[in-house]
Structure 1
Amino acid sequence: MDAVARRPAAAGSRPRWWTELPLLALVYVAYSAGRLVARGDAHTATGHGQTILRWEELLRIDPERALNRLFTTTPALGVPADFAYASLHYLVTPAVLIWLWNRRPAHYRTLRTWLMLATLVGLVGFTLLPTAPPRLLEAGSGFADTMAEFSSYGWWGDDASAPRGLGGMTNQFAAMPSLHVGWALWCGVVLWRHGRSRTTRALGVAYPLLIVLVVMGTANHYLLDALAGTAVMGLGLLLTRPALRFADGVRGRLRAGGRLRTDGRLRAGSRLRADARLRADDGLVMGTAPGAPAAGAPGAHANVSGGCQTSAGERFPRQPTRRGRPAVGAAASAAAADDGAATAAR
């Protein structure tokens, strides 16, 4: 856990909120839609629930009946438990995510990825193993639907923990694994690992344990469901580092491709400018420069002749002429004139 939690500090800061919110919304929509698509038929789901219950009885790990009987006969326990089951799952987890975003940004990306991957693994479990919770087993199984028993106290209906009239929008056969327990475990680990006060760490220990008691006492999950939810979170944690490495690799390739395209455009522009300069230089060498006097016009000077021999009036292409000093061609003409005058004097 330490190595995984330290990764985002080296990878960079937290993601931008305008990309993070749509991503979380997409995962939650997939979670809700997946639960609806993987409903399964009631007969198969009930059979899976009975099989789980028989395995628990064989292993002598079946505290669900005792807890459910206690919560049903004691409204002081049953009513708060129903409120906790119907609300905390959707309130505490987002609150911990926001807390991470604000207070522990270096760890946010890793822990958010862990939660998302575990949720997707849970959806696979819902699809492959639709399971009826204890409250939906036949009457002789010894379970009572606490949510239906105390529905007059809350907003949930008789058929599910969803608001009244919206029971058809939830999958009641998504008991295995228990993501109520999985998400609570994630919150507990985050609060324990990254909370600095004793109160925060105590909440990190108490919250998952409370949710385990609530989901069994309200007859919404078996103990094996809770253990499966824990295993799902463990698998999500194992997948977190490879997933982050893969995402970083894809992001790096995309950035490298963008840089290559940008560099290609810059190089193409540089070549065009270089070609333009070469054409301008060729114009100076092969002919007259733009704006220069035409050949034979007053003040025009011919370029160096083809035989590379200079004569009076010729100049080298683009040869600088300093102010106050005669050009090379003019100096040669003056020297020739002096020689002619000296010869005549003799």
Structure 2
Amino acid sequence: MPDLGHPQSQAREWFEPLLVVTIMVTSLIVNRDRDFSLFPGRGDDLSESLMKREDEFGSSSSRSASPDGPKNSVDLQRSESGPIDSAKLNIPSRILQKFPFLVEMFYWALNFVAYSMTKKIGAGLYDRYGGHAVTEMAQDHGIAILNIEHNSPLSIFFPVTEVDFQQYLLNGHLGVMTIFNQIYSLVHIPGTVAFLSWYYYVAPNFDTFAIVRRTMTLGNFAAFAIFSFYPCMPPRLLPESFGFKDTVRQEHAESVWVGGSNVNQLAAMPSLHFTYAFIIGCTFLYQSGLLQRLRGGRGMRSPLTSFAYVLSGIFYPILVLSVIVATANHYYLDAVVATFSVTMSFLCNRLWLILLPIESFLLKLLRLRKPRPSTRRVSAPERSVGALEGMA
């Protein structure tokens, strides 16, 4: 067997889940409501805390990402209006108010449930139409993608084939391939969880964070739908005659996030890795203040900080694209489709607001009060950057 670089560590089975749990616990602590106590009568006053936050909403209404102003802010719609006596909150509501990031964790648990459902649908279709038929269909789709990329007029946009790029790294750049093998799983789940945790803390306001989260969620569901009805075999599973090598899953060293029963193996189109990377990159570019400067506004960040954000916004998607292609997990067109999917998801992200009545009903049924997000409780320079005004 040729040298494909070092595969992922055998410690993956405990290290990667531990890493995700560590990130989540850290997020809960960092994003906690510091003005609220879990125990009533210990100096906290929810009414005062909420009124302070209402003042923040009012003072920044011109920066709201909602066209209708802060009164239509997603977090405000999802919670009861007006201050209440903190002593009247039940224990679960107090926990939610103290650790509002729990709500975001719940939403991503629902995402995982939705993805599990697509696997069930895929398995059902696989059984109904015969496993070999679905596999052949997925293989045909993968081969068709390669033909579109390299045997059609579109080939001018893809001057380097996927297999040539992989072979270039395998022949003399095994150190880079080893790094790519490690990155492939870590950027997908742990990296995305870390990003959401970070942006919940630094976003100019909760509306801005909610736009990013809704866009990512809608991008997920768009990908899930395509996975279910357009099976596509990744390059690594194509016949050996195509020359691709499975560098990540050498022997039994695949990641718990990218192998076995945790994933749909015939789900190359679109790339969820690049879906997340493109959203994260765009968020970095927005945080840089570049859009405000291009509109003639005055950036509130130092040139060095702005440059770092711009560099990260460009570099990160390119890095992820290089990783998914070099490891033979995706085609170039998988990333192209993901880009269009993210764009449409951003433009349509407010579709999720139709679920607010269901959320309100569940809160009443469970006798819970929706916590006010702690996103606004950041430093003044961060709040001054502004929000995605009028863009969603």
Q: 1:25 aligns with which of 99, 103, 109?
A: 109
Aligned mates of 2:148, 2:63 — CA distance in 1:
35
Q: How high is the TM-score relative to the length of structure 2?
A: 0.56
Q: Give the drift of 1:56.
A: 1.2
1:24-63 matches, cutoff 5 A:
24-35=108-119, 37-38=121-122, 40=126, 41-58=134-151, 59-60=154-155, 61=158, 63=161
1:237-248 matches, cutoff 5 A:
237-244=346-353, 246-247=354-355
Aligned mates of 2:120, 2:178 — CA distance in 1:
27
Q: Which residue of 2 aligns with 1:121?
A: 222
Q: Which residue of 1 aligns with 2:276?
A: 183
Q: 1:218 aligns with which of 305, 316, 327?
A: 327
1:96 partnered with 2:195: yes
1:75 partnered with 2:136: no
Q: Which moved more, 1:85-94 or 1:121-130?
A: 85-94
1:232 partnered with 2:291: no
Cα-to-partner distance string for 1:178-215 (whole Å, 9 max, x where unaligned): 11111000111111112452223311211001111111
- Decide whether aligned partners of structure 1 residues 89 and 113 sit closer, same or farther in structure 2, where only a CA change above 3 A counts: same
Aligned mates of 2:176, 2:200 — CA distance in 1:
34
- Decide whether aligned partners of structure 1 residues 13 and 45 sit closer, same or farther in structure 2, where only a CA change above 3 A counts: closer
Partners of 1:182 and 1:229 within 8 A in 2: yes
- Structure 1 or 2: more helix by fraction: 1
Q: Which residue of 2 aligns with 1:12?
A: 73
Partners of 1:114 and 1:237 within 8 A in 2: yes
Aligned mates of 1:253, 1:25 — CA distance in 2:
18
Q: Give the drift of 1:100.
A: 1.8
Partners of 2:214 and 2:350 within 8 A in 1: no
Q: Give the drift of 1:167.
A: 1.9
Aligned mates of 1:167, 1:89 — CA distance in 2:
16
- Decide whether aligned partners of structure 1 residues 13 and 128 sit closer, same or farther in structure 2, where only a CA change above 3 A counts: closer
- Decide whether aligned partners of structure 1 residues 48 and 176 sit closer, same or farther in structure 2, where only a CA change above 3 A counts: same
Aligned mates of 2:103, 2:215 — CA distance in 1:
18
Aligned mates of 2:255, 2:359 — CA distance in 1:
44
Aligned mates of 1:212, 1:219 — CA distance in 2:
11
Corresponding residue SS for 2:244: coil
Structure 2, unaligned stretches of length 5 or more? 1-61, 79-99, 127-133, 289-300, 365-392
Q: Give the drift of 1:253.
A: 9.3
Q: Give the drift of 1:242.
A: 3.7
Cα-to-partner distance string for 1:62-102 (whole Å, 9 max, x where unaligned): 52111111222321111101111121111221112112211
Q: Which residue of 2 aligns with 1:332?
A: none
1:192 partnered with 2:285: yes
Structure 1, unaligned stretches of length 5 or more? 152-156, 258-346
4+ runs of 1 displaced by more than 6 Å? 251-254
Aligned mates of 2:222, 2:141 — CA distance in 1:
19
Name the aligned partner's letter for residue 227 of structure 2: F
1:184-333 matches, cutoff 5 A:
184-195=277-288, 196=301, 197=305, 198-244=307-353, 246-247=354-355, 250=357
Q: Give the drift of 1:18.
A: 3.8
Determine which structure has more spread, i.e. the larger CA radius of gyration: 1
Partners of 1:162 and 1:170 within 8 A in 2: no
Aligned mates of 2:249, 2:108 — CA distance in 1:
31
- Decide whether aligned partners of structure 1 residues 145 and 102 sit closer, same or farther in structure 2, where only a CA change above 3 A counts: same
Name the aligned partner's letter for residue 141 of structure 1: F
Partners of 2:270 and 2:338 within 8 A in 1: yes
Aligned mates of 1:242, 1:43 — CA distance in 2:
36
Q: Give the drift of 1:26.
A: 1.0
- Decide whether aligned partners of structure 1 residues 139 and 18 sit closer, same or farther in structure 2, where only a CA change above 3 A counts: closer
Identity %: 27
Aligned mates of 2:114, 2:359 — CA distance in 1:
27
Name the aligned partner's letter for residue 7 of structure 1: S
Q: Give the drift of 1:139.
A: 0.8
- Decide whether aligned partners of structure 1 residues 88 and 36 sit closer, same or farther in structure 2, where only a CA change above 3 A counts: farther
Corresponding residue SS for 1:220: coil
Q: Which residue of 2 aligns with 1:290?
A: none
Aligned mates of 1:45, 1:117 — CA distance in 2:
24
Aligned mates of 2:190, 2:63 — CA distance in 1:
26
- Decide whether aligned partners of structure 1 residues 138 and 199 sit closer, same or farther in structure 2, where only a CA change above 3 A counts: same
Name the aligned partner's letter for residue 64 of structure 1: E
